[in-house]
Amino acid sequence: MLIHPPSSSATHHVHVARQPIFDREGDVVAYELLFRGAMDAVEAGRRDSFATSQVIVNAFTEFGLDEVVGDRTCFINMTREFLLGNLPLPFGPEQVVVEVLESVTVDDAVVAGVTALVDAGYRIALDDFVWGSGHERLIPLASYVKLDLLNGVTEHIDDILAACRAHPGIQIVAEGLETLEHLALSNKYGFELRQGYVLSRPQVMTAVSVSPSRLHRLELVGALSDGDADIEHVVRIIQSDPALTMRVLRASNSAAVSPASRISSIRQAVVMLGLDQIRRWAMLMVVDDVAETTEAQLVEALTRSRLCMNLAPTFGADPDAAFVAGLVTAVAALLAVTPAMLAQHLPLTDEIEVALARGAGALGRLLRTVEAYQRGDVGALAERYSGSDLTRTVMEAMRWSHAAMPAA
């Protein structure tokens, strides 16, 4: 019942790049988040819905938006599917600017979709704006227009500026800045924001992640497809997959969600996010097609969590909090990080944080005892449990863990 060290089949690396956007004074005011398929990738490689989904999932649920951009605004490229609402935006408009890619054909459906986003409070940026491309239709809806100075946008710059300056709320972002001449041109025309290699290249951020089971994602989407979804059923599905649980916990901690309180159970995280928000994340995770964690390691992680939950009353600890704490320690082992490091990115209660960081309190004593038992120290629990009671408790945790896994 030991948690094995990370292996290539158990974990994978996730990446997201961020490129700063500066104001006239040279201060970073925002970041554009970019897809990267590898840590050493120079270019995005792809700019489709898969790439957008990975950027969103990784930024919000693997790193946490506060870690990626802090309190600054982030720009995220959106494809037609997101603009039309065919794929959901699982975040609010407070900190995210929706970028309309230059490859999107602007027709009536796109205008209607962008109008709906603006009405919902989202800010819109027109990426790589080209005069005569049809994107002029979106200028009245835009908060930002990005002009690529590297690729000849200066030919129609006066026409573009006249159209944009007719809407006082629009800020111009000069992008593709690679020379001092580009900076001088930005100053000449009074562009509010600047972005490019001469100022800063994209920085690729990398983290180790354990992926949710694809079957669990699909099961969760199915459970949420009913307008009268049973929240207890949703909690059971999420709770049966350690990686999916961690993503829900991280999503509840994202700046876009702004949780008002700390959490001590999976159910509380689901309630905090709301079923609509959980539904959006689940649908997006189906698009985010990544490698799987081995079933054996998932079972081991679940067994530890369930064992902590079962033993909690003996230690005077809350069972739901014990499940969460046990799960964090198990996932931390899979990621080769300390539970305290992982807890920094989760909206956990003080009781759980102290237990994970210092092993303090009733919950900390429980975690230390379970960890000792899993290392082979049977006597760690024998003081509190008779042999037969302990065997039944451990076997129940193992049966529950196997039952929680989807059939192969």
Residues 238 and 196 in one domain: no
Last residue of a domain, one of 206, 232, 257: 206
Whether residue 337 is found in the same domain as residue 291: yes
**Cα(269)–Cα(360) distance, integer angstroms:** 23
Q: Are the beta carbons of 398 and 303 closer than 8 angstroms?
A: yes
**Average of pLDDT values for 23-28?**
92
Length of the chain: 408
CATH number at 59 reads: 3.20.20.450
The confidence score (pLDDT) of residue 249 equals 80
Mention every residue, 6+ apart, whose C-beta is less than 8 A from residue 405.
Answer: 213, 240, 295, 298, 299, 302
Backbone angles phi, psi at 152, to 5 degrees: 75, 25
Helices (H) then strands (E): counts for the chain: 18, 9
Residues 266 and 382 in one domain: yes
310 shares a domain with 274? yes
What CATH number corresponds to the domain at position 339? 1.10.3210
CB atoms within 10 A of CB 65: 25
How many Cα atoms are found within 13 Å in the side-chain-facing hemisphere of 357? 12
- Tell me if 232 is assigned to some domain: yes
Q: Is residue 8 included in any domain, yes or no?
A: no
pLDDT at 44: 45
Nearest to 146 by CA among 133, 160, 167, 132: 160
- Report d(CA 369, CA 221) in Å as an integer: 37
Query: C-alpha 338: how far from its chain's center?
Result: 20
Q: Is residue 7 part of a domain?
A: no
Maximum alpha-carbon separation in the chain? 83
Last residue of a domain, one of 178, 206, 234: 206
Alpha-carbon distance 38 to 24, whole Å? Answer: 32
**Residue 32 has which token pair?**
């554009």
Q: Does residue 96 share a domain with residue 27?
A: yes
With beta carbons less than 8 A apart as the criterion, state whether 366 and 322 touch. Answer: yes
pLDDT of residue 297: 73
3-state secondary structure of 8: coil
Lowest mean pLDDT among 104-118, 251-265, 303-317: 251-265
> Is there a single domain that holds both residue 248 and residue 324?
yes
Query: DSSP assignment of 160-210, as one string?
Result: HHHHHHTSTT-EEEEE---SHHHHHHHHHHT-SEE-STTT---EEEEEEE-
Same-domain status, 252 and 355: yes
Which range is most confident: 44-48, 58-62, 287-291, 391-395? Answer: 391-395
Please report, as a single letter, which amino acid is at residue 147: L
Is the distance from CB of 37 to CB of 53 less than 8 angstroms?
Answer: no
Contact 278, 216 (CB under 8 A): no
- Asked if residue 283 is part of any domain, the answer here is yes
Supply the pLDDT for residue 211. 60
The answer on 256 and 182 residing in a single domain is no
Residues 84 and 230 in one domain: no
Q: Is residue 3 part of a domain?
A: no
Neighbouring residues of 238: CB distance < 8 A, sequence distance ≥ 6: 220, 244, 245, 248, 266, 270, 278
Q: What is the pLDDT of residues 275-316, one digit of tens each?
A: 877 876 775 665 553 334 566 776 787 788 888 988 899 899
Q: What value does the mean pLDDT take over residues 333-362?
A: 81
User: Is the same domain home to 60 and 182?
Assistant: yes
Q: How far is residue 83's CA from residue 60's CA, in Å, rounded to a whole number? A: 19
Q: Are 250 and 346 a contacting pair, CB within 8 Å?
A: yes
- Note down the domain range covering 53: 13-206
Q: Does the model's pTM come out above 0.85? A: no
- Domain end position, chosen among 191, 206, 221: 206
CA-CA-CA-CA torsion sign (333, 335, 338, 344): negative
Q: Which of 41, 69, 40 is nearest to 56 (CA)?
A: 69
Residue-wise pLDDT tens digits, 220-243:
766 775 567 788 888 888 887 777
Residue 31 resides in a domain: yes
At 274 the three-state DSSP class reads: coil
Percent of the chain past pLDDT 70, that is, above it, reads 76
The number of domains in the chain is 2
* Paired tokens of 356: 């994970």
Question: What is the model's pLDDT at position 218?
Answer: 58
Say yes or no: 200 and 245 in one domain.
Answer: no
Three-class SS of residue 9? Answer: coil
Q: Is 313 exposed, middle or buried (0-12, 13-18, 19+ CB in 10 A)?
A: exposed
pLDDT at site 384: 63
φ, ψ (nearest 5 deg) of residue 75: -100, 130
Residue 331 lies in a domain: yes
Q: Average pLDDT for residues 260-280, to the nearest whole number?
A: 78
**H/E stretch holding 357:** helix 350-358
The residue type of 49 is: S
Residues in a beta bridge with 73: 30
Q: Are residues 269 and 180 in the same domain?
A: no
Helix (H) or strand (E) holding 254: none
**Residue 1 lies inside a defined structural domain of this protein:** no
